[in-house]
Amino acid sequence: AQSVSQHNHHVILSEAASLELGCNYSYGGTVNLFWYVQYPGQHLQLLLKYFSGDPLVKGIKGFEAEFIKSKFSFNLRKPSVQWSDTAEYFCAVNARSNYQLIWGAGTKLIIKP
């Protein structure tokens, strides 16, 4: 069965620190990969997605993610975080043959001003 794991449930960083949130999935076929963000009191928003092509994907607000097929990973990165990046981040995957999303448990990111 497909599954998605996010390595850290909580991450606390200071402003200007670099960020990397891990995401690994288990599925042998072709997948689409997503990162969603939920800011406090707001709804889920798409941060970035990967379908094909360049494995380094750039999203909104300076985020990027790299798809490493050999590692079944799709880690989210940002070189310098801001207080406004405080949110919960969810990694999700769907198989090309099945559009249902499989979700990671989420990572709560807290940025200290």
Partner 1 sequence: GAVVSQHPSRVICKSGTSVKIECRSLDFQATTMFWYRQFPKKSLMLMATSNEGSKATYEQGVEKDKFLINHASLTLSTLTVTSAHPEDSSFYICSARRLAGFTDTQYFGPGTRLTVL
CB 45 to partner 1: min, Å: 7
CB 50 to partner 1: min, Å: 10
Please identify, using beta-carbon distances, which residue of 19 and 36 lies nearer to partner 1: 36
Contact residue for partner 1 among 21, 81, 87, 104 (CB under 8 A): 104
What does residue 91 show for φ and ψ, rounded to 5 degrees?
-95, 140
Contact residue for partner 1 among 32, 66, 72, 73 (CB under 8 A): 32
Please identify, using beta-carbon distances, which residue of 81 and 90 lies nearer to partner 1: 90
Contact residues toward partner 1 (CB under 8 A) are 32, 34, 36, 42-46, 49, 51-52, 90, 94, 99-101, 103-106
